[in-house]
Amino acid sequence: MSKDTVTITDNSSGKTIELPIRRGTVGPPVVDITTLYKEMGLFTFDPGFLSTASCRSSITYIDGDNGVLMYRGYPIEQLAEKSTFLEVAHLLLWGELPTKDQLDKFTSLIRRHTLINESLKSFYNGFYHDAHPMAVMVGVFGSLSAFYHDSLDIHDAGHRELAALRMIAKMPTIAAASYKHTVGEPFVYPKNTLSYVGNLLNMMFAVPAEEYAVDPIAERAMDLIFILHADHEQNASTSTVRLSGSSSANPFACVSSGITALWGPAHGGANEAVLTMLEEIGDVKNIGKYIDKAKDKNDPFRLMGFGHRIYKKYDPRAKIIRQMCHEVLAKIGDKNDPLFELALRLEEVALNDEYFQSRSLYPNVDFYSGIIYRAIGIPTNMFTVMFAIARTVGWVAQWMEMIADPDQRIARPRQIYDGAAPRNYIPIEQRK
Ligand code: SDX
């Protein structure tokens, strides 16, 4: 019996199988069960995929027990301190930190694709002003799949690269227009003399009537937050993009499915839900009541921004954002922002409560990001849109990796059936 296999014996049939263990660069090895059904007539059952690796990837690595996050082998702490969002985008897409020439070329390529087709602007008029910007994003970004007929062969590497550049470049333009539509202000065109984040802030907050100057502190804070949100292994939205992409669907439509999955409050929608929760708690004296609600099995309330499927220690991104909160609020926000004070106190109370300790529930990336967005002037209903802009890089990098994988095939999970046993049709006159 090899040490690199797992033996499964089905005691009901007496059949045994040795399954290979596969090992990556770091992290838990996997049991390759691809032949299990064929050889043993057995499926595995893992709703929510707590113990299931859905693919092989070389992009991002997470060690939840030790609070480790790496993009292409580089620790997130080093990238947060030393890199920029577009440099990280290049790293995630192509696997290496760019040289200066490569970064300049990549930046100019992104800049060349920031405009959206003028006809897209009319799509926004189909939405009422009170539409949630994420609903607008799903619709308008998905409609990009109706364009670019010159580059839709996803098995052509050049077409994939062009689609990738277009998606990363146009997401901020579509996002800013989604915001402008809800506030009834005119759309602002991209300005390619600005940085990626500076361009986003200008498209969101500039108005024709006056000059708008991008605040460098806000620009750096957003660039850093985007680095932290760029990719995160096989999370729900990335897995959604991979699943829809596995049928060779249009890449713009696949990323639109990622936006949809991210919107949920259990996932990327949590940053907006955290602010709503903090505003509902309102005062430090109410923290105990909400901690009790979060612990009450009969109460659907959860402490938003707390807990993570993988991190059973502090989310390394939350640590970085928490520190950045202090710096940003000291410079541009209200350094005594009552919601930040409330968040710090809520964190302290929860981290010292047995319920959260015993379930390894720590603040995640969404717990503090909204505080910074609010200090910058980003409206709460745009928080998840900011997350979507940053995560587009991860979605696109993972989609490209999947399509280029020679072993890639359509994802088609199975099930355990517990419905009606076989039965015959009953004519309507005989039904009771
Ligand atoms: C993101 O996957 C990713 O990588 C996601 C993400 C990324 O970058 O892509 O990191 C971004 O989505 C971060 C997570 C943002 N979501 C929230 O903050 C929403 C609040 N948190 C949760 O709902 C929850 O913690 C999840 C969804 C994040 C994780 O859910 P799991 O892993 O399925 O855990 P679970 O629901 O099975 O909870 C385990 C236990 C349960 O109690 P018991 O049944 O064991 O008694 O912990 C409890 C849960 O009730 N629990 C919470 C809680 N989160 C879990 N109780 C109170 N408040 C919470 N926030």
pTM assigned to the model: 0.95
Which of 240, 308, 321 most suits a substitution to test ligand 1, by most atoms within 8 Å of the C-beta? Answer: 308
Give the per-residue pLDDT at 336.
81
Over range 67-84, report the average pLDDT: 98
Q: What is the mean pLDDT of residues 29-40?
A: 97
Task: Give the closest residue to 188 by CA, choosing from 201, 229, 337.
Answer: 201
List beta partners, residue 332: none
Cβ atoms 38, 24 nearer than 8 A? no
Nearest CA to ligand 1 atom 43: 359
How remote is the CA of residue 70 from the centroid of ligand 1, in Å?
Answer: 21
- Average pLDDT (366-393) is 95
Burial letters for 22-47: b for 16+ Cβ neighbours within 10 Å, e otherwise?
A: eeeeeeeebeebeebeeebebeeeee
Do 72 and 59 form a contact (C-beta atoms < 8 A)? Answer: yes
Residues serving a catalytic function are 308, 366
Q: Is 319 in the pocket of ligand 1 (CB under 6 A)?
A: no
Give the residue with greater pLDDT, 313 vs 198.
198
* pLDDT value, residue 1: 62
| pLDDT value of residue 150 | 83
pLDDT tens per residue, range 110-161: 999 999 999 999 999 999 999 999 999 999 999 999 999 888 899 999 999 9
Cα–Cα nearest to 57, from 108, 95, 5: 95
**How many other CB atoms are there within 10 angstroms of residue 17's CB atom?**
17
Assess whether the C-beta atom of 255 lies below 6 angstroms from ligand 1: no
Q: CA-to-CA distance for 373 and 347, rounded, in angstroms?
A: 19
3-state helix, strand, coil in the chain (%, to 5): 55, 5, 40
Is the CB–ligand 1 distance for residue 270 below 6 Å? yes
pLDDT band at 2 (very low <50, low <70, confident <90, very high): low
Q: Where does 144-301 have alpha helices with state H?
A: 157-183, 196-205, 216-229, 236-245, 251-263, 270-281, 287-295
pLDDT of residue 40: 96
Is the pLDDT confidence value at 337 over 90? no
Q: Quick check: 377 pLDDT over 70?
A: yes
For strands 5-10 and 15-22, give the pairing: antiparallel
Q: How far apart are CA 170 and CA 112, in angstroms?
A: 10
Is the CB of 235 inside a 6 Å radius of any atom of ligand 1? yes
- Which residues, at least 6 apart from 97, have a Cβ–Cβ distance to it below 8 Å? 74, 83, 87, 90, 91
